[in-house]
Structure 1
Amino acid sequence: MSRNKYAEIGKQLQDARQKKGWTVEDVHLKTQISKRYIMALEAGAEDDLPGEYYVQSIISQYAALVGMDPKRFNKDKEPKSVAEWREEHRPVANRIERDEVRQRPSVLMGLIRQVPWLMAMALVLVIWLLVWGLTSGMSGNAQIKADPKTVVVDHTAKKNVKSVNGKTVKPVDTSDQTDVSENGGNVDDLQVKLGSKVKTASLKVNTTDANSWIMLIDTKKIDAPVWQGSVPAKSSKSFDLEKGHSYTLQVGNVKVTELTINNKSVPNNPKDNQIRNIKLQVK
C-alpha cells in the first residue's frame, strides 16, 4: 500500500471522526489503538506506522467505529492464512457439494469393511467390560464403607484443621497459586490475582493452524508497547506480567489463538470477532 493510499484513507477516517465530534483521545479510549498510530494514520505517515498486517487491523477497527465499511479498505489485503481459513470453512453453497460431503466414507466404516474381525473383537471387548462391571459392582456392595464425605472439625485447634475418616487434612495453601476471574462478568476485563509467593504472571500465546498477531501494552508505559508483532502458526510467545500493573492485550485472528496465564486458560469471548481487546489487572 503506498504512502498516498494511507493519506487518502487517513483523511476519510479523520473526516468521519470529526463529523461525530470525537477527538483522537476518544478513538483511543474506544478502540485501545495507540494515539500515535491514530495520528500517523490520519496524517498518512507510513514511517510511523507498524507492519501492513497490523495497519489493516487498525483501519478495520477505526472504520467500524466511525460507521464506515471496513471492507472498502482492506478486503483485498486480507492475510493469506485468513483467506484460506474462510475458504475451508465456508458454508456448502449448493446441492452438488452437499451430496459430495455426504458421500465421503468415514475412516471407521472403511476399517470395518476392510478388516471384518476388527468389529468382532470390539464386540467381545464391550461384552467383557459389561460383565466385569457387573461383578465388580456386586462385590463392592457386599462391603460396608464409611462415608468419605464425613468431616470432623477440631474447634480446639488454633487453626480450622479438618479430619476426614480420622486423617488430618491440612488447609489449602494458595500462596503459590494464580486466579484469573472476570470483572463484572466481562470476559474482556480480567483480574489476575497472584499468591504471596508468586511475583509475576506468565502470559502465553499459542497459535494453531494459522498466523496471529498481538500487541501488549503496559498502561504505565503507554508510549511504547511491551511487544507487538506476528506469531507464526503452531508456535507460542510468552511474556511476564508484573504484579501491580495493568495491561491492554490486542489479539488478531482470535479463532486460531489460545491464551493462558500461569497455565490458567483465559476465558473465550463468545462473540465471533476477528480482533479482541482484553484488559488485564495483575494484583
Structure 2
Amino acid sequence: ADDPANPLTARQIQSVRQIEAAAGVLLALIEETEAFMTGGDGGGSPSLHRVDLRLALRQVCDGLEAQAREAGVTLACPPPAHGLCVMADPSQIRRIPRRLVENALRHSPGGGKVRMEMSRAEDRIVIAIHDAGMIPVGAGDDRPFRPLDGRDARGGTALGVASVQRLTERMGGALTMARNPGAGAIFSLSLPAAPAPGLASSRQAVVLYIEDNPANIALMRQAASGLGLTLHAATTGPEGLDLSRALRPDVILLDIGCRTWTAMR
C-alpha cells in the first residue's frame, strides 16, 4: 500500500494481515494496562511524531475483532491507503480510535455495522466512524462529550468520549459528532497531516540491525530492500558494537533479547 507502483501479492497481503492482527492484540493489551496504571487519558504535553494513522486504525480493528464478533456487529475497517500519516503522539494515538470504535460497538445492535472511512482534507487527516445505535429524541450532538450523569441512553462511555476529546485536542486535533442520516452517530476525528518525508541527501540511509534470529534478519532485509535502505546485520552484541563504530549508521534496530542485549551492556 505504501508503494502503488509495486502492489503486494495475495500471499504478502495475508502475511501482513497476520502480523498486524497479532500486533493489534498486543498493542491493545499494552495500552489498556497503561490506561489502568495512569488512571485516564494522561496529562502533560504530547510528543508529536509522524504516525501512519491507517496502520494504527488497522491494529485497533484487529484488536477489537473478537469483541465485534461476540456482539454480532460487522467491523468494517478502511482499505489500505497511501499517504495518510499524521503528527501525533505514537504512545497515545491508538487510544483515540480504540475508544471510539469500542463506543460504536457497544451502541450498535446485533446484525449492525460499524463502518470507518479515512480521507485527507487539505492539511488534516480525517477518520469518520459510523455506528448503528439509536440516539434518543432531543439529545444534542454534544451530549456524548458531557460528564456522565446517568441519564444518557448512549450509556457509560460518555466519560470515555470526553476523555478522548481532550487527548485529541492536546495533539492539535478535533473530535466532533453528528447524527447519521439513517440511524446512529458519526464521530469524526481529524488530526494534522504529517509533511511529506524528505531526505537530507541523495545517499542511501544506512541501517544496522542487531538480531540473533535469522528469520527476523531475512524479513528485515526484504523490508529494507523495498525502502531503498542499506542494511547491515550483526548477530551478537560485540559484533553490533564493532559495526556501529565502523559504519556510523543512521539507524540502529536493536533486539532486546537476553543474548544480544546483555552482551552489549
TM-score normalised by L of structure 2: 0.21
Larger of the two Rg values belongs to structure:
1
TM-score normalised by L of structure 1: 0.20
Q: Which has the higher strand share?
A: 1
